[in-house]
């Protein structure tokens, strides 16, 4: 089974042994970040540093002239990824015999929300989520599509993985996050993800909803959860809190908005890419879910993209809905965490891989070679040697 590991450019650049060490794991491919959100990352083997602080979302290469005169444009990286950091790392990895695919984070950008507040998701209470660009707004959609094209189709790349190509909501590891005090559950998180920016308010109107009335209904529905009532969970929980017809109308607006953005972005990437370029989406098979792996309709997305990368940190169950709808040749990649200090389980990688295969996975993604300890990497090497 083909395996790829995620890598940051700063894991490779300045470390002459990094590319060979990654190749020695037994992976055939790397998924290398070309556009990424803010983060603080460990680099446990780098000869020059141990901690990299990426202060804001940025492209990790020099942006081109398509952004001239535009208000919404990608930010250049600072000293954590200077100049063409992506290109330098990609060249070293390719020299080590690895196939390089780009890793592109899209609708997740706190700097964009800080500089352009009107682009952000606004919840039913009027609170703004600066990390979450509203994907319904025309200017934001145009920015995301062009960023997807530029960041995906880098020189020498054989494919791309598009992360956060859909709705984002409250659930986000923000700086010094303090939002876990009340367990909102699946239904509550959906209600807290509903956007009430001007564009979304118009969209609800097209679905027959009054936006002010909807916001008031959301606040009323959430009140018992704030007071500690259990969330019934799932879509049935949303319908119970909001009412079936109202819930369905919100989902119709949001599903269509995400679906058309995904279609447009994939189409644009393919138009700019060389023949045979692979386009995958990080995705969840439940359409109302939000975040880095936004919800999609499995039957639809597998007619749009070449496949999906599916989160498996909580088990491999999310693979099945995609596998059940997969056309011949579609990639169903199981994303398995292998950093034990972050909850991963490299020691069980062989068993986890077999379970993923039984549930329809065709490939593996391993998160993350740059962050893992030496012991974790040794466990990965041992597991991949027998797969």
The answer to whether position 195 is within a domain reads no
Q: Is 82 left (phi over 0), alpha (psi -120 to 50) or beta?
A: beta
Q: Give the model's pLDDT for residue 387.
A: 84
The answer to whether position 218 is within a domain reads no
Give residue-wise pLDDT tens across range 17-70: 999 999 999 999 999 999 999 999 999 999 999 999 999 999 999 999 999 999
Q: Count CB-CB contacts under 10 A for residue 15.
A: 20
Q: Give the model's pLDDT for residue 177.
A: 77
Strand runs (DSSP E) across the chain, as ranges?
A: 2-7, 29-36, 39-42, 51-54, 58-59, 99-105, 120-122, 128-133, 159-163, 278-282, 307-311, 331-337, 363-367
The helix/strand/coil state of 7 is strand
The answer to whether position 13 is within a domain reads yes
Q: Give the model's pLDDT for residue 175.
A: 73
- Give the chain's mean pLDDT: 96
CATH, residue 41: 3.20.20.80
Q: Give the model's pLDDT for residue 172.
A: 74
Domain count, the chain: 1
Q: Give the model's pLDDT for residue 85.
A: 98
Domain range for 338: 2-177+257-385
The answer to whether position 66 is within a domain reads yes
Q: What is the DSSP letter of 76?
A: B
The answer to whether position 227 is within a domain reads no
Instruction: Return d(Cα 354, Cα 26) in angstroms, integer.
Output: 17
The answer to whether position 214 is within a domain reads no
Rounded to two decimals, what is the model's pTM? 0.97
Query: CB neighbours of 182 closer than 8 A, spacing ≥ 6?
Result: 225, 226, 228
Query: What pLDDT tens digit does each residue of the chain (387 aa) get?
Result: 999 999 999 999 999 999 999 999 999 999 999 999 999 999 999 999 999 999 999 999 999 999 999 999 999 999 999 999 999 999 999 999 999 999 999 999 999 999 999 999 999 999 999 999 999 999 999 999 999 999 999 999 999 999 999 999 998 766 767 777 787 899 999 999 999 999 999 999 999 999 999 999 999 999 999 998 888 789 999 999 999 999 999 999 999 999 999 999 999 999 999 999 999 999 999 999 999 999 999 999 999 999 999 999 999 999 999 999 989 999 999 999 999 999 999 999 999 999 999 999 999 999 999 999 999 999 999 999 998
Q: Give the model's pLDDT for residue 385.
A: 96
Instruction: Return d(Cα 282, Cα 293) in angstroms, integer.
Output: 5
The answer to whether position 210 is within a domain reads no
The answer to whether position 215 is within a domain reads no
Q: Give the model's pLDDT for residue 182.
A: 80
Q: Give the model's pLDDT for residue 171.
A: 80
Q: Give the model's pLDDT for residue 180.
A: 75
């Amino acid at each position: 089974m083909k395996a790829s590991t995620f890598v940051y450019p700063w894991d490779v650049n300045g470390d002459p042994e990094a590319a060979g060490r990654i190749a020695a794991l037994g992976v055939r491919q790397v998924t290398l970040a070309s556009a990424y959100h803010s983060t603080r990352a460990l680099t446990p083997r780098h000869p020059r540093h141990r901690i990299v602080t990426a202060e804001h979302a940025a492209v990790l290469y020099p942006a081109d002239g398509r952004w001239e005169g535009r208000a919404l444009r990608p930010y250049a990286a600072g000293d954590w990824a200077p100049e063409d950091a992506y290109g330098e790392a990609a060249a070293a990895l390719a020299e080590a015999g690895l196939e390089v695919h780009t890793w592109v984070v899209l609708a997740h950008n706190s700097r964009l929300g800080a500089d352009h507040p009107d682009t952000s998701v606004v919840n039913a209470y009027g609170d703004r989520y600066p990390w979450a660009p509203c994907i319904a707004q025309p200017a934001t959609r145009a920015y995301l599509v062009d960023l997807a094209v530029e960041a995906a189709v880098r020189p020498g790349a054989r494919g791309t993985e598009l992360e956060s190509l859909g709705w984002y909501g409250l659930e986000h590891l923000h700086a010094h996050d303090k939002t876990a005090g009340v367990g909102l559950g699946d239904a509550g998180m959906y209600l807290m993800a509903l956007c009430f920016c001007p564009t979304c308010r118009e969209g609800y109107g097209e679905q027959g909803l009054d936006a002010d009335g909807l916001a008031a209904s959301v606040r009323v529905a959430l009140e018992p959860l704030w007071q500690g009532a259990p969330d019934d969970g799932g879509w049935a929980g949303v319908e119970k809190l909001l009412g079936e017809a109202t819930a369905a109308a919100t989902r119709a607006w949001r599903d269509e908005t995400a679906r058309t953005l995904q279609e447009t972005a994939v189409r644009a990437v393919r138009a700019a890419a060389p023949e045979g370029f692979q386009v995958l989406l990080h995705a969840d098979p439940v359409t109302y879910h939000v975040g880095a792996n936004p919800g999609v309709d499995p039957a639809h997305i597998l007619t749009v993209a070449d496949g999906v990368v599916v989160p498996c940190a909580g088990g491999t169950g999310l693979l099945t809905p995609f596998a059940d709808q997969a056309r011949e040749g579609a990639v169903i990649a199981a994303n398995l965490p292998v950093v034990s200090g972050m909850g991963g389980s490299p020691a069980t990688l062989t068993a986890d891989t077999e379970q993923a295969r039984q549930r329809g996975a065709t490939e593996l993604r391993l998160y993350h070679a740059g962050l893992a300890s030496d012991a974790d990497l040794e466990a990965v090497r041992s597991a991949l040697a027998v797969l």
